[in-house]
Amino acid sequence: MIKKALSSLLVLASLAFAQKTLEVWIMPNSPQPAEDFKALVAPFEKAHGVEVKVTVLDWGVAWTKITTAATSGVGPDLTQLGTTWVGAISAMGVLEPVDDVLEALGGEKAYLPAVWRTTRLEGARQATAVPWFSELRAFYYRTDALRAAGVNPAEMFASWQGFEAGLARLKASSFRDPETKAPLAPLCTPGKNSWDVLHNAAPWVWGAGGEIVRQAGGRWQSALNSPESLEGLYLFLSLAQKGYVPAESLEKNTAQIEADFQAGKCAVFASGPWMIQRAQVPESRGGFAERTAAKNLGVAPYPAGPKGRYTFFGGSNLALFNFSKNKPLAKELLKYLGSPEAQVRYAQMTGMLPGLRSAWSDPSFQQNPLLRTFIQAAQFGRTYPSLAGWGGVENLAVQHLGMAWDLVAQGRLTREALKDLMDKASAAINQALR
| Same domain for 185 and 236 | yes
| Same domain for 143 and 34 | no
CA-based nearest residue to 209, from 237, 235, 185: 235
Whether the predicted pLDDT of 1 surpasses 90? no
> Of all residues in the chain, what percent carry a pLDDT higher than 90?
93
> Of all residues in the chain, what percent carry a pLDDT higher than 70?
96
| Same domain for 283 and 204 | yes
Q: What is the pTM of this model?
A: 0.91
Tell me the CATH number at 83.
3.40.190.10
Q: Which domain holds residue 237?
A: 138-311+387-433
Q: What was the pLDDT predicted at 17?
A: 42
| Within a domain: 200 | yes
DSSP H helices, 149-196, are 153-156, 160-172
Number of domains the chain contains: 2
Phi and psi at residue 314, to the nearest 5°? -125, -140
Q: What was the pLDDT predicted at 3?
A: 47
Categorize the per-residue pLDDT at 14 as very low, low, confident or very high, splitting at 50, 70 and 90. very low
DSSP H helices, 173-253, are 197-207, 227-241
On whether the CB atoms of residues 188 and 246 are closer than 8 A, the answer is yes
| Within a domain: 185 | yes
| Within a domain: 249 | yes
> Which among 339, 365, 382 is the end of a domain?
382
Q: What is the largest CA-CA distance in the chain?
A: 93
| Same domain for 262 and 192 | yes
Q: What was the pLDDT predicted at 286?
A: 86
| Same domain for 357 and 400 | no
Q: What was the pLDDT predicted at 217?
A: 86
| Within a domain: 73 | yes
| Within a domain: 394 | yes
Categorize the per-residue pLDDT at 218 as very low, low, confident or very high, splitting at 50, 70 and 90. confident
Q: What was the pLDDT predicted at 285?
A: 86
DSSP 109: G
